[in-house]
């Protein structure tokens, strides 16, 4: 792998140069001269560098269903989505994930935490696009005896297969949710994860219905239920966590659980808007951000997600000082990498070279009194011009290889889901 030198770029109020060697940010200094003939030099003038975003909860191939069902009550929406998902196959997941990766690259995401079906196809797409993906094998058995058994076997098979996935893709365990997975498989899946040092990715306390049903059935909250089984840890990535008791927050904090907050999905599906960002952070949880799938978002844009997260925090707390910018940006970048045990999501020497170069010579960044505020509240993802993931340029001046084919394949295939 060659070297990349980004010259004269804006970083936190200063102009610096950044040298990337292999997959790592090797040096940051006021001035760095070309170090060798094979160094690719990028002109950073009029531009700023930001860390790659970590999208901590998505179902990538759902891009195939973007706009598929709108303005419907939750049950009708879910029925429509499930009907479409029955028609998924390797081809649709492959091209759907390609489109998702294309979109994530265009919007500056370098790491994503995926939970979907046909994961070999999702992994293939992610590898080809050059992004960093965490893909979980999803347990979802609806207490069906046959599935309970077969999913364990398939999980073990998939885990073996994952050893040849290459450096950018990581295998994880997906436990869909408390109400869709049998108690015995929940325990089995967490055990399997612990034994093999894997992360676990779950939906947790997303809706009021889920929260109340669990209380009715188990006499405890969903968080308490998982805790009673000893399943809370910093290896857990819990998506949503909208409905929480005080004790839930304490449990999630004490165990340093990683929370993926998905504001756009929570608003659009009316799951709830008063996510306890401050309480969870203060308690010790690692609050990250995610987009959820495009069926409920409808994009994978982390700039959108950051903005709306911050705006809604301010509003529901009745405090314009809620959601300070540095903390917000950290939740969309560094915290996600931390959840995955990676040194990334920040521009530091020694960190993974996952970053974006963004144009600030435009109206969105004028005047540039407060760069972070312009990024979050004024800009949109078109400002993102060049994206580097794992030391490799995956988008240069907004060009991503193979883009046209992805669009035409998705246009050809999405109808398969509507049979």
Question: Which parts of this chain interact with its own copies (CB under 8 A)?
Answer: 63-68, 70-74, 77, 99, 102-103, 106, 264, 266-270, 272-273, 294, 297-299, 301, 304, 307-308, 311-312, 314-325, 361-364, 366-374, 377-378, 380-382, 403, 406-407, 410-411, 414
Nearer to its own copies, 78 or 148 (CB): 78
Distances in Å between the Cα of 135 and the Cα atoms of 36, 159, 168, 235, 248 are 37, 11, 11, 14, 27
Contact between 130 and 136 under an 8 Å Cβ cutoff? The reply is no
Burial label, 373 (beta-carbon count in 10 A; 0-12, 13-18, 19+): middle
Spatial separation of the C-alpha atoms in residues 389 and 131, rounded to whole Å:
6
Nearest to 193 by CA among 239, 233, 166, 238: 233
Shortest Cβ distance from residue 110 to its own copies (Å)? 17
Nearer to its own copies, 37 or 404 (CB): 404
Nearer to its own copies, 205 or 266 (CB): 266
Shortest Cβ distance from residue 243 to its own copies (Å)? 13
Nearer to its own copies, 64 or 134 (CB): 64
Shortest Cβ distance from residue 410 to its own copies (Å)? 5
Contact between 264 and 84 under an 8 Å Cβ cutoff? The reply is no
Distances in Å between the Cα of 354 and the Cα atoms of 196, 256, 334, 368, 382 are 26, 25, 11, 24, 18
Nearer to its own copies, 115 or 207 (CB): 207
Shortest Cβ distance from residue 216 to its own copies (Å)? 20
Shortest Cβ distance from residue 393 to its own copies (Å)? 19
Beta bridge partners of 3: 21, 39
Shortest Cβ distance from residue 263 to its own copies (Å)? 8
Shortest Cβ distance from residue 62 to its own copies (Å)? 11
Nearer to its own copies, 102 or 288 (CB): 102
CA 161 to chain centre: 23
Shortest Cβ distance from residue 411 to its own copies (Å)? 6
Nearest to 54 by CA among 395, 340, 325: 340
Spatial separation of the C-alpha atoms in residues 364 and 379, rounded to whole Å:
5
Nearer to its own copies, 65 or 353 (CB): 65
Please tell me whether the peptide bond between 383 and the residue prior to it is cis, using omega within 30 degrees of 0.
Answer: no
Nearer to its own copies, 255 or 296 (CB): 296
CA angle 197, 104, 363 (to 5 degrees): 135
Spatial separation of the C-alpha atoms in residues 117 and 103, rounded to whole Å:
19
């Amino acid at each position: 792998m060659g070297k990349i030198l980004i010259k004269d770029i804006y970083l936190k109020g200063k102009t610096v140069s950044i040298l990337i060697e292999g997959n790592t940010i090797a040096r940051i200094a006021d001035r760095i001269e070309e170090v060798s003939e094979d160094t690719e030099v990028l002109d950073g003038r009029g531009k700023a560098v930001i860390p790659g975003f970590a999208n901590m909860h998505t179902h990538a191939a759902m891009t195939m269903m973007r706009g598929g069902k709108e303005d419907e009550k939750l049950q009708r929406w879910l029925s429509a989505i499930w009907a479409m998902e029955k028609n998924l196959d390797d081809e649709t997941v492959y091209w759907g994930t390609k489109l998702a990766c294309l979109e994530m690259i265009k919007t500056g995401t370098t790491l994503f935490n995926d939970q979907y079906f046909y994961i070999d196809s999702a992994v293939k797409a992610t590898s080809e696009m050059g992004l960093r993906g965490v893909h979980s094998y999803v347990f979802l058995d609806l207490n069906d005896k046959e599935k309970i058994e077969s999913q364990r076997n398939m999980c073990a098979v998939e885990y073996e297969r994952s050893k040849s996935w290459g450096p950018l893709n990581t295998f994880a365990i997906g436990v869909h949710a408390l109400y869709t997975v049998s108690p015995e498989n929940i325990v089995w899946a967490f055990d399997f994860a612990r034994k093999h040092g894997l992360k676990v990715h779950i939906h947790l306390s997303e809706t009021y219905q889920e929260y109340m049903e669990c209380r009715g059935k188990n006499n405890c909250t969903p968080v308490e239920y998982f805790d009673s089984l000893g399943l809370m840890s910093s290896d857990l990535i819990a998506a949503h966590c909208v409905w929480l008791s005080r004790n839930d927050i304490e449990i999630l904090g004490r165990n340093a659980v990683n929370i993926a907050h998905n504001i756009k999905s929570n608003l659009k599906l009316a799951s709830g808007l008063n996510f306890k960002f401050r309480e969870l952070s203060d308690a010790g949880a690692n609050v990250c951000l995610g987009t959820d799938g495009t069926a409920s978002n409808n994009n994978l844009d982390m700039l959108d997600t950051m903005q709306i997260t911050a705006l809604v925090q301010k509003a529901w707390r009745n405090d314009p000082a809620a959601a300070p910018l540095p903390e917000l940006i950290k939740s969309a970048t560094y915290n996600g990498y931390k959840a995955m045990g990676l040194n990334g999501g920040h521009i530091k020497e020694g960190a993974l070279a996952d970053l974006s170069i963004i144009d600030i010579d435009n109206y969105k960044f004028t005047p540039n009194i407060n760069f972070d505020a312009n990024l979050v509240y004024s800009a949109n993802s078109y400002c993102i011009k060049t994206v580097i993931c794992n030391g490799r340029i995956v988008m240069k001046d907004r060009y991503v290889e193979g883009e046209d084919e992805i669009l035409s394949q998705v246009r050809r295939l999405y109808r398969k889901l509507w049979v």
